[in-house]
Structure 1
Amino acid sequence: MGRPDLLNRTLGFAGSIAIALGGLTVGALPDKAEDPLVHWPVIRELRHFPLLAIAVSYVGIALLCGAWLRLRRTLDEHSPGDLVRTMLCWAGPLVLVPPMFSQDVYSYLAQGAMVHEGLDAYKLGPSALGGQFAAEVPAIWQNTPAPYGPLFLRAASAVVNVTGEHIMVGVLAFRLIALIGVALVVLCLPGIATRFGVPPQRALWFGALNPLLLLHLIAGMHNDAIMVGLMIAGIYAAVRQHPALGAVLISAAALIKAPAALALLTIVVLCPKAWLRIGAAAGASALGLQLASGLGTGWIGAMQTPTSVRNGLSFSTDLGLLLGALGWPEPMQIIRTLAAVAGCLLAGWALLRAPNPVAGLGLALSSIILLGPVVHPWYLLWAFVPLAAGLQRVPQAAVWGSVGLSLFLLPTGAPGYPQAVLAATVGTVAGLLYLRMRPPVATAPLAVAATS
């Protein structure tokens, strides 16, 4: 690895350190439970200046995104192993911080505790549980049922069974689950990419080192990590001519979050002669896991739960709100339905017209997500990870969208307020100014060409 690449790795590591420092100070910290970091030197002092900590986090995000973009210029000079080592360097500080950019992990704990206590998490919200687990769940989710599949709720129940009432220990257990999902992505992407003639270095760069993945699947520890990891592992199994195993893995992913089921079409196209085995394995595993969970099928109806969030990223929801403000009678449901139909039609077109079935999966999921009723930044990773392995060229919109969405959420995981948005803006500008003052160092061949 040459000097420019070492500088990129160091730049990204410095960014992760700054993000982690902000996370230790103004991350999605527990509100009611004992915070073990409250008496730490430096952290204790920084907590008196939360706006400064937010600015520091955004300096770090700018540096991390800058390092990621600069790394793209030298991908051909790297081995996949180099990129994995770079990812470990960038991800390391984020493994050690409290939850960041989202408070969802506290909902996972509360829902796991509900299952553990015999309550129906598909009919009741955390408020029915009460106690310290429910106290950490944001108010918007207190009376809403769990939108996740039974496999995830059983895993959440197992976490609570092991960690008991120690909330921060439970949080770390969910980060471990997320890291398993990320590890599956890292292990499987190069093999899938090679199958379709995509350089594995580029697949790892866009699919694994993507700032969205580092910030939201590792620091944010969303259950999308294990869902995407199992889905990609299933596709890799099919690429290696193990379609039945692939079907089982994808079925497990779908019982965490349902959109992963679309990948079953991908492995049918990859292994068309094994369609009967794929169908039998998928059906048997899904039915077996569903029955073994003992949680029923209430999760299917509860998938509507996330639509109560309006964060400005959903085109259909924004259009519905605009038309409602202009006096149209109840336009939201109509617009969302039309957009969902359009998303499904575009997804079908993408599956038919894409250069290969993995790219088709990524494009289809992109259509469904972008025209869906609710869009969170980490949802795009459902599509970006398969796109990384299936497309010969990564669209610029996806690259810059990753950067823009990395800046979208505050480290607190709570809605923004004017002073926090100003602090985030100042931090981002400071990070960009530093990048401007430290332009990329030319690679060795370019340097030679410049002097000849």
Structure 2
Amino acid sequence: MVTSTDSGTGAAAPNASGAPPGQPPSRFPYRTIALGTVGSTLLMLAALGAGGILIRDPVLGHGPLSWIRYGHGQALATALLYLGFALVVWAWVRLGRYVLAGRVGTRPVLVAAACWMAPLLVSPPLFTRDVFSYLGQGAQLLHGLDPYADGPTELDVLPDVVLNVHSLWQTTPAPYGPLFLFVAQGVVAVTGNNVIAGVIGTRLVLLVGLAMMLWALPRLTRHLGGRLPVTTWLAVASPMTVIHLVGGPHNDLLMLGFLTVGVVAALERWHAVAIALVTVGMLIKPTAAVALPFLVWVWANHLPAERSLTRRFWRAVLPALGIFAVVFVAGTWLSLRSFNLGWITGLQAPTLIANWLNFPTGIGDIVYNVVHLVVDVPSSPFVTVARFLAFGLLAVVAVRQWWLSRHGGNEAIFRMAVTLLAVALLAPPTLPWYLTWGFVIASAFPWRRAHLAVVVAVSVFLVLVYYPTGEQAMYDWWFIAGVVAASAYAAAAFLRPDPLGLVAAWRGPAEAAAGKPTEESTERA
């Protein structure tokens, strides 16, 4: 995935105009940014009929445009939504080629990301309905109910908020940290029963996490040896961030803000601050806790070297535990007005999701289907056993990665990113946006070109494996075949424009022979 030398993304030193030697002076990639902005606007408009629409829609429910939510109207909206997604991916891939060629700096990437995110700030939820659960659980806390004991269906107020929570989460406890429920409570306190305002308000709050990432990534890249344009293209302008984290939206964005700033603080020897920040991230989404043991090694290796590693470790871990305990207890108490640890048991709720995107669940399903050809048996024991074995494997991987990081520095951060990815893939459930936990940290390392192409394919795949409505598409095998083909084509287009020669065939041999300008020559970043 990443490499210690930037052999794949390295470029010759730029000339005075900012372009590498031998290339013409660059211009701002207006058309690429506009292409993605058109796509993002289509996503926003089409989501009114094909996204995570409201059960009772006060905007379109009974108006002249209500047809977009049903039948052929919804089919048209779905087609437009996928067209918008294709334009966003096309623009992102083009921008990535310019970045690797050294013809785009960080500023155009950030402008592109901002333009692509802007329409989605007011869009219905895309490829998920999780934000409605956030609002429902925040409403529970606001009205004196324990979100870790019961689901939003227990509320007898704010009917629109409760009605739009997915049926799977109506009766299940919240799996999120207490600090995030406190944030959700604040949003609902302002927006009340207005679900549209609640969704927009949630996105605006989560942008705090994006702002923290934007502050941290340049510093993180400087420490870890990557190239900032590549890092921002991967971590900020990617469809995983633009569509999943912002368009979703998902609270992972806020957690990642605290995680990235915490990692920077650790590398810059502000160790107490680093432990406190990552603990706050854990109080938003518990996954951030995975980073804490790795940051202890970073701290230990910044201590005077005349002592043994074991003594330095204890000198780091003891204050780290103290800081963690203070922040954890204070954050929980201030958020819930009590020391309620129910959110730990609430982590079991997401395990109700079962699909093959989670490797052990998929393996359990395969074994079940083979056995089921001979014997009529239920599937749950196979999935349960596979998940149990995967937890054992995950424990081995996590402990090994932690031990390999004992010399601290960049190695510890790399091992931390690997472990975050392992948690996303091996611990149930695996949801597409979970892979951003490791990707965002890993984006600050050097990358090879071929590995970036794999990330392009994975990013496209992880958006499309869910329908725009938020329901999984993973057992619609013809659809998944199309998703795999689209993902592979996006990766190939990243490595070489028009890999199938479609544009050349459309232009015809005469125009090609005449040397008609291509996108690479007419739009120089």
With structure 2 as the length reference, what TM-score do the two structures score?
Answer: 0.77
Deviations 1:144-183 (A, max 9, x none): 1111111111111222222222222111111112221122
- Flag the 1:295–1:173 CA change in 2: closer, same or farther, 3 A: farther
* 1:206 Cα deviation from its structure 2 partner: 0.8
Distance apart, 1:440 and its partner CA = 6.1
3-state SS in 1 of match to 2:284: coil
- Deviations 1:13-66 (Å, cap 9, x if unpaired)? 22212212211222211103x43255777x556445111111111112122122
Residue type at the aligned position of 1:331: F
CA 1:45–1:127 in 2, change beyond 3 Å: closer, same or farther?
closer
Shift of 1:133: 2.3
- Counterpart Cα distance in 2 of 1:66 and 1:379: 23
Q: Is this contact kept in 2: 1:84–1:186, CA < 8 A?
A: no
The one-letter amino acid paired with 2:384 is: Q
Matching residue of 2:514: none
1:260-300 Cα offsets, whole Å, 9 max, x none, are 01222333233323725433322211121122222500111
5+ residue gaps in structure 1?
447-452
Residue aligning to 1:174? 202
Q: Which of 71, 77, 84 does residue 110 from structure 2 map onto?
A: 84
Structure 1 partner of 2:125: 99
Show the counterpart of 1:333: 384
Find out whether 1:62 has 2:86 as its counterpart.
yes
Structure 1: distance between partners of 2:81 and 2:141: 36
1:358 touches 1:390 (CA, 8 Å); kept in 2? Answer: no
1:72 matched to 2:114? The reply is: no
Q: Matched residue of 1:144: which SS?
A: coil
1:155 paired residue number: 183
Q: Are positions 1:441 and 2:484 aligned together?
A: no
- Structure 2 residue 333 is matched with structure 1 residue 283: no
Residue range with higher mean Cα deviation, 55-64 or 352-361: 352-361
Asked if residue 408 in structure 1 is aligned to residue 458 in structure 2, the reply is no
Which is worse superposed, 52-61 or 231-240?
231-240
Task: Mark the CA change 1:40 to 1:10 in structure 2 (over 3 Å): closer, same or farther.
Answer: farther
Question: For 1:27-42, what aligned pairs fall within 5 Å after superposition?
Answer: 27-32=51-56, 34-38=57-61
Does the 8 Å contact 1:182/1:225 carry over to 2? yes
> 5 Å matches for 1:34-433?
34-38=57-61, 44=66, 46-47=68-69, 49-75=73-99, 76-130=102-156, 131-272=159-300, 273=303, 275=316, 276-292=318-334, 293=336, 294=338, 296-325=340-369, 326-327=371-372, 330-353=381-404, 356-393=411-448, 395=451, 396-415=453-472
Tell me: CA distance 1:62–1:353, structure 2 relative to 1, closer, same or farther (3 Å). farther
> What is the SS of the residue equivalent to 2:444?
helix
DSSP 3-state at the match of 1:271: helix
1:124 Cα deviation after fit: 0.9
1:187 Cα deviation after fit: 2.0
Separation of aligned partners in 2, 1:25 and 1:445: 34
Deviation (angstroms), 1:69: 1.9
Distance 1:80 1:253 in 2: 27
The worse-fitting range, judged by mean Cα deviation, of 54-63 and 431-440 is 431-440
| SS of aligned partner of 2:92 | helix
Distance, in Å, in 1 between the alignment partners of 2:97 and 2:267 is 29
Matched residue type, 2:58 = D
State the identity %.
Answer: 31
Residue aligned with 2:520, SS: coil
Aligned amino acid, residue 423 of structure 2: I
Cα–Cα, structure 1 residues 27 and 73, in superposed 2: closer, same or farther, change >3 Å? same
* Counterpart residue identity of residue 409, structure 1: Y
1:449 is aligned to: none
Instruction: Give the secondary-structure state (helix, strand or coil) at the position aligned to 1:120.
Output: coil
Distance of 2:358 and 2:472 partners within structure 1: 16
Counterparts of 1:216 and 1:82 in 2: how far apart (Å)? 21
What amino acid is aligned across from residue 112 of structure 1 in structure 2?
G
- Partners of 1:126 and 1:80 lie apart in 2 by 43
Q: Output the CA distance in 1 between the equivalents of 2:368 and 2:415.
A: 35
Q: d(CA) in 2 for partners of 1:40 and 1:86?
A: 34
User: CA 1:9–1:40 in structure 2 vs 1: closer, same or farther (change >3 Å)?
Assistant: farther
For the Cα contact (< 8 Å) 1:61–1:407, is it kept in 2?
no
The TM-score, its normalising length taken from structure 1, stands at 0.88
**Quick one: which amino acid aligns to residue 437 of structure 1?**
V
Give the residue type in structure 2 aligned to 1:194.
Answer: R
Cα deviation digits, residues 369-428 of structure 1 (max 9, x gap)? 11122111100001110010134447343332112112222221135597x959x97xx7
Any idea what the Cα deviations from partners look like across 1:117-155, whole Å, max 9, x if unmatched? Answer: 221211211222243322111111111111111111111
Contact 2:275/2:323, CA 8 A, preserved across alignment: yes
Is the 1:29–1:35 Cα contact (8 Å) retained in structure 2? no
> Which runs of structure 1 show a deviation greater than 4 angstroms over 4 or more consecutive aligned residues?
37-41, 351-355, 415-418, 431-436, 443-446
User: Matched residue of 1:143: which SS?
Assistant: coil
Q: Is the 8 A contact 1:4 1:440 kept in 2?
A: no
Q: Report the 3-state secondary structure (helix = DSSP H, G, I; strand = E; otherwise coil) of the residue aligned with 1:400.
A: helix
CA apart distance, 1:11: 2.1
Structure with higher Rg: it is 2
Equivalent residue, structure 2, for 1:450: none
Do the aligned partners of residues 386 and 44 (structure 1) sit closer, same or farther apart at CA in structure 2, a change above 3 Å counting?
same
The count of aligned residue pairs is 441
Measure, in 2, the Cα distance between the counterparts of 1:51 and 1:170: 27
- SS of structure 2 residue aligned to 1:255: helix
Residues 315-371 of structure 1: CA deviation (Å, up to 9, x unaligned):
111222233342577222221011122123223334455762222211111112111
CA distance in structure 2 between the aligned counterparts of 1:406 and 1:178, rounded to whole angstroms: 19
Q: Give the corresponding residue for 2:511.
A: none
Q: In 2, are the aligned partners of 1:151 and 1:256 still within 8 Å (CA)? A: yes
Say if 2:28 and 2:108, in contact at 8 Å, map to a contact too.
no
